[in-house]
Structure 1
Amino acid sequence: MPLFAYKGRNVRGELMEGVLEAADSGAVADQLFGTGVTPLVIAPTKRSASNAGAGQSWWTSLTEKSVTPMDVQLFSRQMHTLLKAGVPIMRGLAGLQESAISPAFGRILKDLRDSLDSGRELSAAMRRHPDIFSNFYLSMVRVGEMTGRLEDVFLRLFDHLEFDRDMRDRVKTALRYPGFVVAAMVMAMAIVNIFVIPQFTKVFASFHAQLPLMTRILIGFSDFTVAWWPVMLVLSIGSMLAARSWVQTVAGRYSWDRNKLRLPIAGKIILKGTMARFARSFALSSKSGVPIVQALTVVSQTVDNAYLAARIEQMRDGVERGETILRTGTTAGVFTPVVLQMIAVGEETGSLDDLMDEIALMYEREVDYELRTLSSQIEPILITFLGFMVLVLALGIFLPIWDLGKAALHP
């Protein structure tokens, strides 16, 4: 996404400036208002949002290990422990910087300390490093700052990052076997098209006979690929770059986030995981006494999905008009009937925050079940695909063998 340089003033009237990454200037303004900064100037820029690596040689920058998600996860756990023990945040960051295993992350911590020294809030300091701290991470830290429960937020973030890493590992494990099978079949198709079928062409040509239709189709596809592969490569790269640029626009991001929720298998996992984030952060805000309208504004930034964020903002607008959470949630159309029933009970009993925690647990259990059964869900699709590939290979290879005898007897 593009970078924007900004200048603004915080609630104490102090001048704040920096660089943020966002889809457009309006998104930058929303981020600044969410962190308590009133923007004065927002302009596009090409300079990096962080100077944490300034002064390094190009060889050090090239060979140094970059910051990993595990570094951020460990940082979250350490911050929870330090804040819970009553250690001042500046002293805690100084200790983490000295003990940091990763030099790159140590420089990030130094930049956070410098930003806090200059009067910035922690979320605003972290926002200078969008490639390290995600929008969800920043929004959760902002919730912790607003509620005064930053240590609880860091524990939530640690649990979330651990769950997210476990989810990614499970998906990779489930896709490893199908990936190997599909790669082997594609390789077999390439070998047959390039080396096997052309031999049939020579034999049948010596008998002045015509190859079967499926074999001719495979040969034609092979010849087309060999002749036009540079054009196909350029078109593929151009299509990927165009799609990436489109997704970075506001309309493209909204459309992509909406459509990926409709994917056959991954869509429901993404939806349930995202709604678990929403429920967790909303419960935390509600328990801390944040007004519902303000909580929905901040929580909408934690879902990391433009389509669902728009639905949550629609709920916020409905609450501002005096509607209930149940009515706005029904209108949003992203909650299941069971969740809506739990929201209704929470509003009637005044324990909406506890019910939101239950909703988050329910979604997390469903995501865990979906991941455990992911392999069994992929198997029917894989078997169908392999059956089609085997059929094509059988018709393309065995039909010429069956017709070879007839061609030899009737040259």
Structure 2
Amino acid sequence: MPFFAYKARNSRGELIQGVLESVDSSAVADQLFSTGVTPIEILLTKKTVTSTERGWWERFSEEKVRSIDVQLFSRQLYTLLKSGVPIMRGLAGLQESAINKSFARVLQDIRESLDAGRELSAAMRRHPEVFIPFYISMVRVGEMTGRLEEIFLRLFDHLEFEREMRERIRTAMRYPMFVVIAMVVAIGVINLFVIPAFAKVYAGFNAKLPFMTQILINFSNFTVHYWPLVIAIIVGAIFGFKLYVATPKGCYKWDKAKLKIPIIGPIILKGTLARFARSFALASRSGVPIVQALNVVAQTVDNAHIESRVDQIRDGVERGESILRTATTSGVFTPIVLQMIAVGEETGELDSLMDEIAQMYEREVDYELKTLSSKIEPILIVGLGILVLILALGVFLPIWDLGKVAMHK
């Protein structure tokens, strides 16, 4: 179908414009009238919504769509649909009131896709950078079951859980990261300025230096003379690591290794399993078949290793095995969780029990995050002590030896 560029005015007299895909200009006018706007001009065009002219600087500097924007959109759309507001009128109102201009353009494209006859889930699928596959799949379930407003409320709760989890982790890691950065800066200052000054003093005595002092001076000289190479190596290592993690094999190995990191690994595992249980409960409660639910939930865990285990559970269920049996062989669930899965399968209340599992893991993660700083502090203190000891032995030991020699003379 052809595209038509239009200019129209809304109920407040504001000028709006966009592009619609329809059979002819009369159909475009009907679509605009149905959304409560009055068309002024409708012209045939070859440009689609996504090909609107924007300079490279505008595209580079535009505000990105954040997860909070999608979360608030879900809550607002639930309220509008529950109140009986037609979805096209609701989307038009949300577009006009959107603070994020990038998200307003996304809503405009969704409206125009709906005008062109597409389903809401198909319209959202055109924006994978905004709506994750799980979100789109749940909207699709809402369309199939006729419970779209309920789905948006549950998606809002799910996104709120995800946001709180990220905020807790960010808050817990703020102090350790500050200490680590301070230590790195201190090491850099000592290598570039302090040790070279002491090295000049030692050179005037023509005395044999301790082994630790020689290591520090050699390392400092290398840093001073080859600092561009050091920076290039660090940047190259970071860039190479990101490239490796971007590959399926690298992503799988890194996600598996993260779960084995002391202190941090168990928190990541529990948070991931909480996300899995919450997503599975949401999908199951919404009427999604178990196999399809597992397929959708696997895309939300954000860990390639756990995702492979969820896929393993799905394959087992497809072969006719029970969820308990396949979850046991996956090796990622605790005995308590496996027992609750068994009870859920027997009673038919798997969605409720999976919700309980999610809450249990959330409480454990919350406790772990609250005590994270106290667990990391001893490690940081020991590391700082070792650093001070090395510097003290390397810098002050030669002065002590030279002082003893001078006293004997």
TM-score (norm 2): 0.80
RMSD: 2.4
Structure 1 residue aligned with 2:106: 108
In structure 2, distance between residues paired with 1:213 and 1:60: 58
Structure 1 residue aligned with 2:297: 299
Unaligned runs of 5+ in 2: 1-47
Distance 1:149 1:306, change over 3 A: farther
Pairing 1:60-139 to 2, within 5 Å after superposition: 60-139=58-137
Contact 1:147/1:290 (8 A) holds in 2: no
Distance 1:389 1:113, change over 3 A: same
Q: CA deviation at 1:51?
A: 5.8
In structure 2, distance between residues paired with 1:89 and 1:368: 38
In structure 1, distance between residues paired with 2:311 and 2:102: 37
Contact 1:287/1:353 (8 A) holds in 2: yes
- Of 57-66 and 85-94, deviating more is 57-66
Structure 2 residue aligned with 1:264: 262
Counterpart AA for 1:378: I
Contact 1:276/1:361 (8 A) holds in 2: yes
Pairing 1:108-257 to 2, within 5 Å after superposition: 108-257=106-255
Write out per-residue CA displacement over residues 173-222 of structure 1, whole angstroms, 9 at most, x where no aligned residue.
33333333333333333333333333333333322212222121111111
Structure 2 residue aligned with 1:274: 272
Structure 2 residue aligned with 1:289: 287
Distance 1:259 1:170, change over 3 A: same
Structure 2 residue aligned with 1:366: 364
Q: CA deviation at 1:232?
A: 2.8
Distance 1:59 1:193, change over 3 A: closer
Structure 1 residue aligned with 2:14: none
Contact 1:147/1:285 (8 A) holds in 2: no
In structure 1, distance between residues paired with 2:217 and 2:62: 49
Structure 2 residue aligned with 1:357: 355
Write out per-residue CA displacement over residues 22-69 of structure 1, whole angstroms, 9 at most, x where no aligned residue.
xxxxxxxxxxxxxxxxxxxxxxxxxxxx96473223443344333223
Contact 2:213/2:394 (8 A) holds in 1: yes
Distance 1:168 1:156, change over 3 A: same
Contact 2:259/2:269 (8 A) holds in 1: yes
Counterpart AA for 1:163: F
Q: Which structure exhibits the higher relative contact order, with contacts defined as CA atoms closer than 8 Å and separated by 6 or more residues?
A: 1
- Of 143-152 and 289-298, deviating more is 143-152
Structure 1 residue aligned with 2:330: 332
In structure 2, distance between residues paired with 1:136 and 1:152: 16
In structure 1, distance between residues paired with 2:286 and 2:164: 29
- Count of aligned pairs between the two proteins: 362
- Of 74-83 and 322-331, deviating more is 74-83
In structure 2, distance between residues paired with 1:328 and 1:266: 27
The correspondence for 2:339, drawn from 335, 338, 341, is 341
Pairing 1:40-55 to 2, within 5 Å after superposition: 52=50, 54-55=52-53
Distance 1:262 1:168, change over 3 A: same
Write out per-residue CA displacement over residues 252-291 of structure 1, whole angstroms, 9 at most, x where no aligned residue.
2222222222222332222222222222232233333332
Counterpart AA for 1:270: I
Matched, 1:408 2:382: no
Contact 2:313/2:330 (8 A) holds in 1: yes
Contact 1:207/1:407 (8 A) holds in 2: no
Counterpart AA for 1:87: V
Q: CA deviation at 1:313?
A: 1.9
Matched, 1:395 2:406: no
Structure 1 counterpart SS, 2:357: helix
Counterpart AA for 2:96: E
Contact 1:319/1:328 (8 A) holds in 2: yes
Counterpart AA for 1:227: H
In structure 1, distance between residues paired with 2:50 and 2:87: 20
Unaligned runs of 5+ in 1: 1-49
Contact 1:141/1:150 (8 A) holds in 2: yes
Structure 1 counterpart SS, 2:226: helix
Distance 1:357 1:168, change over 3 A: closer
Contact 1:342/1:355 (8 A) holds in 2: yes
In structure 1, distance between residues paired with 2:147 and 2:312: 27
Contact 1:204/1:407 (8 A) holds in 2: no
Contact 2:154/2:282 (8 A) holds in 1: no
Distance 1:193 1:276, change over 3 A: closer
Counterpart AA for 1:272: K
The structure number with the bigger radius of gyration is: 2
Structure 2 residue aligned with 1:24: none
The correspondence for 2:383, drawn from 373, 385, 392, is 385
Distance 1:57 1:373, change over 3 A: same
